[in-house]
Chain A
Amino acid sequence: MLLYIHIPFCETKCHYCAFNSYVDKFDIAEHYFRAMEKQLEFELKRFNVQKNSISSVFIGGGTPSSVDAKLYKNIFRQIEPFLVEDAEITTEANPNSTTKQWIEKMMELGVNRISFGVQSFNNDKLLFLGRTHDAIKAQDVISFAHQVGIKNISLDLLYGLVLDTPSLLEKDLDIAFSLPINHLSAYALTIEKNTPFAKRKKIVNSTLELAQIVVDGVQKRGFYQYEISNFGTYKSRHNLGYWQYKNYIGIGSGAVGFLDNKRFYPSKNPNKYIENPLQIKTEQLTLQDQHIEKIFLGLRSEVGIKKEMLTQEEQQKVALLIDEKKLTCKDKTLFNNNYFLSDEIVLFITN
């Protein structure tokens, strides 16, 4: 069982961001946390959570580091009895707002992993993206976290912009790998509707060349790729859990929960969420929905897909793909040899 907690607050909004986050709602933060506590109580019952069963907690956003650490206290108190002993407890953090003190307090609560939203160590690129930190700040804050004693540190990089060049990306990787991290996520920029980038032209450079530089570069420097965008000497239990199709509780506005064949969606708007955190929409997944989800999650990660779950027709297509060395079959499980083709392979198999 996984638990996701959503913090919909940010100091600023980045030009590419379509996540559920707000820059002007800090005044309701306290009410928001009370509401989350209420939803959590409800979900623990709905998911019939047993002692020692939550193996991972992930605090995401928005910007979790933009709110006071003490606000998290009650939630941690609530979940404490249900956590497994060595639970992975991750928080996202923004280099700009994260203080040494905040990290220490979060550690006291139980956080043992931080994922920093760095995006780049090139100041021009950071400016272009609408990020407020600079390269030095990001390096400093990661060093702090390490000094304070956070064992598992990850950072996010973004690539696929028009101003990306091979040397810029290599330099980003060089700096990243000079820091005490054991995990890295590298995402290709995608333009989402209703973002400042969506109104502008010439933002994206989605060539294979740039993507390949990043993926090869990260692996060359010693991290193992266990999903299209995720690399490390440490693999995030939380990320893997999604791809393994595990159940997860989702707390907060804009979070998503998943139980067997249902997905849950609390109100996206934080004010509405505070009004009634238990007003949650349910999506019923058909067998066909689950089938295709298992296939695409398995093919975009090292999880793979169990051959036996495929239909006769799909297995025939798989045989073709094995012949063409697109897939590898090991222990009745199919593994994707090139994550960049995962969507195309899903379409090929399921069409």
Chain B
Amino acid sequence: MQKNIRNFSIIAHIDHGKSTLADRLIQECGAVSAREMTAQMMDTMDIEKERGITIKAQSVRLTYVKDGEPYILNLIDTPGHVDFSYEVSRSLASSDGALLVVDASQGVEAQTIANVYIAIEHNLEIIPVINKIDLPAAEPERVKEEIEHTIGLDCSHAIDVSAKSGIGIRELLDAIVERIPAPVGDSKAPTKALIYDSWFDNYLGALALVRVYDGEIKKGQEIYVMGTKKKHEVLNLMYPHPLVLQKTPVLRTGEVGIVILGLKNVGDVKVGDTITDNRHKTATPIGGFKEVKQFVFAGIYPIETDRFEELRDALDKLKLNDASISYEPETSVALGFGFRVGFLGLLHMEVIKERLEREFDLDLIATAPTVTYKVHKTDGTILDIQNPSQLPPINEMQEIQEPYVKATVITPTDFLGNIITLLNNKRGIQQKMDYLSVNRVLLEYAIPLNEIVMDFYDKLKSMSKGYASFDYEPIGYREGDLVKLDILVAGEVVDALSIIVPRVSAQTKGRDFVKAMKEIVPRQLFEVAIQASIGNKVIARETVKSMGKNVTAKCYGGDITRKRKLLEKQKEGKKRMKSIGKVQLPQEAFLTVLKMD
């Protein structure tokens, strides 16, 4: 029954215990027995478990009985890392309420604020939840005050919990039932459902995770996808569950479920698209769904140039379950055929590259991440440049503009000095400094996006011992005094290594770059010169000395096979290197820029 359904998400800053709370709710509702319970139930991807972060939003359908009345709780997990706010917005679009989880000893963080604003935009009922209240350092009352002060959210009915030890979980479940509204929607109207996630399953094909707004979806029904304008038959319907998917003949108004259409192409069930009945179509599709926007771009190339088509297939498949990437073919003199891939951030880029290599058995080279520059040419045209090697010659450019973001940092005052220095070094311009309490400060800076996509987050975390939090949002383009820095290996420009840098720091960057490259490039048969240049002017040089020896002195009499096998092993190792002329560069060489200070 529609009035007994509750659709809700959990939003939190990274590490504030969101996944643990989700696990606890699942367990409390008996969807998974204690024996089956593995930590972080909802993180199903290997990479998520290994890195301890949630990347893709997952959903689970729970049953909870309150006062003898059974309720269906659809819990939609959200990712916590700053790179994945797009996924947060997707999860929230399909919810009617949200639990705002804040760590009782940490308080409000930059991401908490960002995520709450998304929830408020979607008009969700927000329940503040103070987690980890059993920790000695917990200060739930201070944290509630902070939430009221910074977000303006009433905390008089906040719920105190400890996800880890199970305190307050029942109260929380009761609050979900009492305070989050049941889904509104007309069960008699034509089918209207939002695809808020889709992915590819090797056995079932392309799957769409939907929230039904009006009417219902039935097995065997002929449905119509409004964006792609294609009709399909519903082969099967399922409820989401972390262990076993439960089949159902129908998804009713307000419900969340998986629609199986037997499609090979995930592009047919695009996230944000609306499903309706083929004969009785709903009048208008569901709107207001925020389009994904990529901030970071990098070239992705197969090491073996003949595997370009395999890479294309892999990207097509990956796109099915991660709609937030974009890609277009490009060519590089040094690397051959590949793709310029757009990502949500640097972590997203690492994750995607790792998934492509792991799930599709590819050896890939990723080039330095870059942002989209707007180049105003002297002939009046404007170019979007996402690949430094495509920057026009200096005399054809009137000006280069680069994207800026508003960066929000919240930090304990102990680290304030260092963080301000970091922001200044990254060309940040201070716009706001606000003391949240005696010992916590909120900073707002306008800063070039390029500066934060590289290693800003890691630096901030390490210089604040993990205490500073960070979030950002784009604020448009500004003019920059920028130049292209080229890298020459053995006298040849390697286009895939070029980067765009501020003119004032070009000299230093060039020196740092070649120095870092020298550490990464192994000794070869020949001496290898590594140079940095601007225009045709060389500004820095390092030399990788030639190799002294590589041979096994003893060749065991007639056992030549043994020797051959040893060589083949060495050969395997070299396969992951890229030949550029006579020089072989390891994959990491193309990401040298991330290893610089």
Residues of A within 8 A of B (CB): 4, 58, 60, 160, 186-188, 190, 208, 211, 228-229, 242, 248, 250, 255-258, 263, 283, 285, 289, 292-293, 296-297, 300, 317, 320-321, 324, 326, 339-348, 350-351
With beta carbons under 8 angstroms apart, the residue of B547, B555, B559, B575 that contacts A300 is B555
List B495-534 residues whose CB lies under 8 Å from chain A: 525-526
Q: Are B558's CB and A343's CB within 8 A?
A: no
Known: A60-B557, A188-B553, A339-B551; 8 extra A-B contacts, CB below 8 A, are A190-B552, A208-B549, A256-B561, A292-B567, A293-B564, A296-B567, A344-B547, A346-B567
When A292-B567, A296-B567, A343-B570 are in contact, do A348 and B557 touch as well, CB less than 8 Å?
no
Q: Are B525's CB and A345's CB within 8 A?
A: yes
Interface residue B582 (Cβ < 8 Å from any Cβ of A): yes
0/1 per residue, B209-225, Cβ < 8 Å to A?
A: 00000000000000000
Interface residue B381 (Cβ < 8 Å from any Cβ of A): no
Q: Please give, as numbers and ranges, the residues of chain B lying within 8 Å of A346 by CB-CB distance.
A: 567
Q: Are B582's CB and A320's CB within 8 A?
A: yes
Q: What 6 A-B pairs have minimum CB-CB distances, sorted nearest first? A: A340-B549, A208-B548, A188-B553, A256-B558, A344-B550, A343-B550
Q: Are A341's CB and B549's CB within 8 A?
A: yes
With beta carbons under 8 angstroms apart, the residue of B525, B549, B553, B567 that contacts A326 is B525
Q: Are A242's CB and B551's CB within 8 A?
A: no
Q: Are A188's CB and B554's CB within 8 A?
A: yes
Q: Are B525's CB and A242's CB within 8 A?
A: no
Residue of A nearest to B564 (CB): A293
Q: Are A248's CB and B558's CB within 8 A?
A: yes
What would be 14 A-B contacts, judged by CB atoms less than 8 Å apart?
A187-B554, A228-B555, A242-B558, A255-B558, A256-B558, A257-B558, A285-B561, A292-B568, A296-B563, A296-B567, A317-B582, A324-B525, A341-B525, A351-B584
Number of interface residues of B (CB under 8 A): 27
Q: Please give, as numbers and ranges, the residues of chain B lying within 8 Å of A296 by CB-CB distance.
A: 563-564, 567
Q: In the complex, what distance in Å separates the CA atom of A258 from the CA atom of B564? A: 14
Q: Are A228's CB and B553's CB within 8 A?
A: yes
When A339-B551, A340-B551, A342-B551 are in contact, do A347 and B567 touch as well, CB less than 8 Å?
yes
Shortest Cβ gap from A280 to chain B (Å): 14
Q: Are B551's CB and A341's CB within 8 A?
A: yes
Q: Please give, as numbers and ranges, the residues of chain B lying within 8 Å of A257 by CB-CB distance.
A: 558
0/1 per residue, B561-597, Cβ < 8 Å to A?
A: 1011001101100110001001010000000000000
Q: Please give, as numbers and ranges, the residues of chain B lying within 8 Å of A340 by CB-CB distance.
A: 548-551
Interface residue B560 (Cβ < 8 Å from any Cβ of A): yes
Q: Are A258's CB and B549's CB within 8 A?
A: no
When A326-B525, A351-B579 are in contact, do A343 and B560 touch as well, CB less than 8 Å?
no
Q: Please give, as numbers and ranges, the residues of chain A lying within 8 Å of B526 by CB-CB distance.
A: 324
Residues of B within 8 A of A (CB): 525-526, 547-555, 557-561, 563-564, 567-568, 570-571, 574-575, 579, 582, 584
Q: In the complex, what distance in Å separates the CA atom of A58 from the CA atom of B557? A: 10
Shortest Cβ gap from A128 to chain B (Å): 18
Q: In the complex, what distance in Å separates the CA atom of A186 from the CA atom of B551? A: 14
Q: Please give, as numbers and ranges, the residues of chain B lying within 8 Å of A255 by CB-CB distance.
A: 558
Q: Are B554's CB and A190's CB within 8 A?
A: yes
Q: In the complex, what distance in Å separates the CA atom of A340 from the CA atom of B548? A: 7
Q: Are B571's CB and A297's CB within 8 A?
A: no
Q: Please give, as numbers and ranges, the residues of chain A lying within 8 Å of B563 by CB-CB distance.
A: 296
Q: Please give, as numbers and ranges, the residues of chain B lying within 8 Å of A208 by CB-CB distance.
A: 548-549
Q: Please give, as numbers and ranges, the residues of chain B lying within 8 Å of A341 by CB-CB distance.
A: 525, 547, 549-551
Residue of B nearest to A301 (CB): B555
Q: Are B560's CB and A347's CB within 8 A?
A: no
Shortest Cβ gap from B285 to chain A (Å): 54
Q: In the complex, what distance in Å separates the CA atom of A324 from the CA atom of B555? A: 27
Q: Please give, as numbers and ranges, the residues of chain B lying within 8 Å of A348 by CB-CB distance.
A: 525
Q: Are A350's CB and B571's CB within 8 A?
A: yes
Q: In the complex, what distance in Å separates the CA atom of A345 from the CA atom of B570? A: 12
Shortest Cβ gap from A8 to chain B (Å): 13
Shortest Cβ gap from A213 to chain B (Å): 13
Q: In the complex, what distance in Å separates the CA atom of A162 from the CA atom of B563? A: 25
Q: Are B557's CB and A242's CB within 8 A?
A: yes
Q: Please give, as numbers and ranges, the residues of chain B lying within 8 Å of A289 by CB-CB distance.
A: 561, 564
Shortest Cβ gap from A4 to chain B (Å): 6
Which of A60, A255, A257, A346 counts the most chain B CB atoms within 10 A? Answer: A346
Q: In the complex, what distance in Å separates the CA atom of A305 from the CA atom of B570? A: 21
Q: In the complex, what distance in Å separates the CA atom of A257 from the CA atom of B579? A: 38
Residue of A nearest to B527 (CB): A324
Residue of A nearest to B555 (CB): A300
Q: In the complex, what distance in Å separates the CA atom of A160 from the CA atom of B547? A: 18
Q: In the complex, what distance in Å separates the CA atom of A20 from the CA atom of B400? A: 70
Q: Are A344's CB and B525's CB within 8 A?
A: yes
Q: In the complex, what distance in Å separates the CA atom of A296 from the CA atom of B562? A: 12
Shortest Cβ gap from B337 to chain A (Å): 19
Q: Please give, as numbers and ranges, the residues of chain A lying within 8 Å of B554 by CB-CB distance.
A: 187-188, 190, 229
Q: In the complex, what distance in Å separates the CA atom of A211 from the CA atom of B554? A: 13
Q: In the complex, what distance in Å separates the CA atom of A348 from the CA atom of B523? A: 13
Q: Please give, as numbers and ranges, the residues of chain A lying within 8 Å of B547 by CB-CB distance.
A: 341, 344
Q: Please give, as numbers and ranges, the residues of chain B lying within 8 Å of A228 by CB-CB distance.
A: 551, 553, 555
Q: Please give, as numbers and ranges, the residues of chain A lying within 8 Å of B559 by CB-CB distance.
A: 256
Q: Are B558's CB and A4's CB within 8 A?
A: yes
Q: Are B560's CB and A293's CB within 8 A?
A: yes
Q: Are A347's CB and B548's CB within 8 A?
A: no
Q: Please give, as numbers and ranges, the residues of chain B lying within 8 Å of A343 by CB-CB distance.
A: 550-552, 567, 570
When A190-B554, A208-B548, A248-B558 are in contact, do A292 and B525 touch as well, CB less than 8 Å?
no
Q: In the complex, what distance in Å separates the CA atom of A327 from the CA atom of B527? A: 16
Q: In the complex, what distance in Å separates the CA atom of A293 from the CA atom of B579? A: 23
Shortest Cβ gap from A327 to chain B (Å): 10
Residue of B nearest to A256 (CB): B558
Residue of B nearest to A299 (CB): B551
Which of B553, B554, B574 counts the most chain A CB atoms within 10 A? Answer: B553
Shortest Cβ gap from A310 to chain B (Å): 16
Residue of A nearest to B573 (CB): A347
Shortest Cβ gap from B335 to chain A (Å): 17
When A341-B547, A351-B571 are in contact, do A190 and B553 touch as well, CB less than 8 Å?
yes
Q: Please give, as numbers and ranges, the residues of chain B lying within 8 Å of A292 by CB-CB distance.
A: 564, 567-568
Q: Please give, as numbers and ranges, the residues of chain B lying within 8 Å of A297 by CB-CB distance.
A: 555, 560
Shortest Cβ gap from A91 to chain B (Å): 14
Shortest Cβ gap from B214 to chain A (Å): 61
Q: Please give, as numbers and ranges, the residues of chain B lying within 8 Å of A60 by CB-CB distance.
A: 557
Q: In the complex, what distance in Å separates the CA atom of A300 from the CA atom of B571? A: 17
Q: Please give, as numbers and ranges, the residues of chain B lying within 8 Å of A300 by CB-CB distance.
A: 551, 555
Q: Please give, as numbers and ranges, the residues of chain B lying within 8 Å of A285 by CB-CB distance.
A: 561
Q: Please give, as numbers and ranges, the residues of chain B lying within 8 Å of A58 by CB-CB distance.
A: 557
Residue of A nearest to B548 (CB): A208
Shortest Cβ gap from B550 to chain A (Å): 4
Q: Are B525's CB and A321's CB within 8 A?
A: yes
Q: Are B557's CB and A4's CB within 8 A?
A: yes
Q: In the complex, what distance in Å separates the CA atom of A343 from the CA atom of B563? A: 10
Q: Please give, as numbers and ranges, the residues of chain A lying within 8 Å of B560 by CB-CB distance.
A: 242, 256, 258, 263, 293, 297
Q: Are A211's CB and B549's CB within 8 A?
A: yes
Q: In the complex, what distance in Å separates the CA atom of A147 from the CA atom of B417? A: 86
Q: Are A256's CB and B549's CB within 8 A?
A: no
Residue of A nearest to B526 (CB): A324
Q: Please give, as numbers and ranges, the residues of chain A lying within 8 Å of B561 by CB-CB distance.
A: 256, 263, 283, 285, 289
Q: Please give, as numbers and ranges, the residues of chain A lying within 8 Å of B549 by CB-CB distance.
A: 208, 211, 340-341
Shortest Cβ gap from A300 to chain B (Å): 7
Q: Are B570's CB and A347's CB within 8 A?
A: yes
Q: In the complex, what distance in Å separates the CA atom of A344 from the CA atom of B548? A: 10
Q: In the complex, what distance in Å separates the CA atom of A343 from the CA atom of B579? A: 17
Q: In the complex, what distance in Å separates the CA atom of A257 from the CA atom of B557? A: 10
Which of B554, B563, B575 counts the most chain A CB atoms within 10 A? Answer: B554
Q: Are A187's CB and B553's CB within 8 A?
A: yes
Q: In the complex, what distance in Å separates the CA atom of A94 from the CA atom of B564? A: 29
Shortest Cβ gap from B114 to chain A (Å): 48
Residue of B nearest to A229 (CB): B553
Q: Please give, as numbers and ranges, the residues of chain A lying within 8 Å of B553 by CB-CB distance.
A: 160, 186-188, 190, 211, 228-229
Q: In the complex, what distance in Å separates the CA atom of A58 from the CA atom of B579? A: 43
